[in-house]
Structure 1
């Protein structure tokens, strides 16, 4: 994208005013010049939105922090899933921590602008980006493929959809990462094996709907093809819930 090209807005057609908050957090590992000049305009970003900031750390210093993301359960998961990216992050001299809390709004321009800054960081020394909200560490090439998509990566790219065994032939389909949109995560309980594909497609559609501003109220009926009685929304949970690190909306699949 040319630096002279004005960025296109990322609207949220279903948005309604509320008290929701957006949470963004990323770790960019690499080696950076003393004066950090990030070429974000080439990616359609004027810079970080108000409320999001960059903190710069020596990796060796940040490693002493109790919540250092390459340690503990998250570190073990990352090392198993993406060992080469994990090693690049482990040996990187520096870490840029990008984080902020923003009021929910009628566009996703804040996300567009933040992603443009992250892309620019990869051009000036970044080698890996960790998104702890979706438990994923990207090397530079993978991050560019995943997010540098014309007109913006689809909401599904920003969210992790998981399946957990509930016993018998039933599974729990759930998400992580919806706090980037100021929305609760999704929980589909008791999904039978025969309906797993349907539940996965439904989850992707609901991620898109919520990311574009929609809300579910308690008791709201959701029509689902193949389920005569549909599903019923039950918002709940808390930001301290370790399964989501977020509130969630639960739907229970019929017996």
Structure 2
């Protein structure tokens, strides 16, 4: 028996002209006649606009954008050496990629994740999500994403902390919200003592945007425990290497 797809709603959806980007590499050994058991995971197959391309792994190794070399390759190897070795040894690579118009449900994500899960059942050994700079082995991917009712939005996004230009302050920001057709988040000049609080706020804002919320220029945001307001400033571009996306910035309130 196969699971019946249930709608993944976006109850706060507000239309936008942003585009959704889905982009994954699946490493493994696949038969020539590839039958993907996506319906097993309540998926109707890849949504229109998202395609699957197959490559011999050796044909990609010299490609300038090959993800398992250079700075990204070193980062992935350091983060999970086992998954990295499995990916490097795989003879085949499937690239799942596509852009979609913003929409009022997350069914496109459910269907794509079901295809990825099916690919792990028919020879996949590792999945790379370049939007969050993360490489999963098969077991790790299943733990992370095959959650009843769908993995929480936080699982699809990377939250990072870097030093801010101002001493004693941090920059908390995200990567990966293009999967939801929303800008990433940038919380600037966060006092180091409040970095954990800012990270939790990021998690909440990630969830709101994944469920459809949009922030407009000048929109105030009141946060419990923070004096003053955070003011939204959307901007940036898709070419920004820190986000690989547009972003909405919030300056942390300055206190005496």
Both structures adopt the same fold (TM-score exceeding 0.5):
yes
Q: Describe the SS at the equivalent of 1:110.
A: helix
Q: TM-score, normalised by structure 2?
A: 0.97
Deviation at 1:71, TM superposition (A): 1.1
**Per-residue CA distance 1:193-244 (angstroms, 9 max, x = gap):** 2211210110000000001111000010000112231100000100000000
- 1:74 and 1:245 mapped to 2: Cα distance? 14
- Equivalent of residue 54 in structure 1, options 26, 49, 52: 52
Match of 2:120? 122
Deviation at 1:18, TM superposition (A): 2.4
Match of 1:238? 237
Deviation at 1:16, TM superposition (A): 1.8
Q: Describe the SS at the equivalent of 2:227.
A: strand
Match of 2:97? 99
- 1:217 and 1:135 mapped to 2: Cα distance? 28
Deviation at 1:17, TM superposition (A): 2.1
- Equivalent of residue 41 in structure 2, options 40, 43, 52: 43
Match of 2:205? 206
- 1:20 and 1:163 mapped to 2: Cα distance? 25
Moved more, 204-213 or 9-18: 9-18
- 1:89 and 1:219 mapped to 2: Cα distance? 45
- Equivalent of residue 137 in structure 1, options 135, 138, 142: 135
**Structure 1, unpaired ranges of 5+:** none
Deviation at 1:45, TM superposition (A): 0.2
Runs (4+) off by over 6 Å: none
Asked if the contact 2:24/2:130 (under 8 Å) is kept, the reply is yes
Q: CA RMSD in A?
A: 0.8
Q: TM-score, normalised by structure 1?
A: 0.98
Match of 1:185? 184
Aligned residue pairs, count: 253
Deviation at 1:64, TM superposition (A): 1.6
**Per-residue CA distance 1:73-116 (angstroms, 9 max, x = gap):** 11110011111101110110000000000011000000000000
Deviation at 1:254, TM superposition (A): 1.8
Match of 1:159? 157
Q: Describe the SS at the equivalent of 2:203.
A: helix
Q: Describe the SS at the equivalent of 1:233.
A: strand
Q: Describe the SS at the equivalent of 2:228.
A: strand
Match of 2:172? 173
- 1:6 and 1:35 mapped to 2: Cα distance? 25
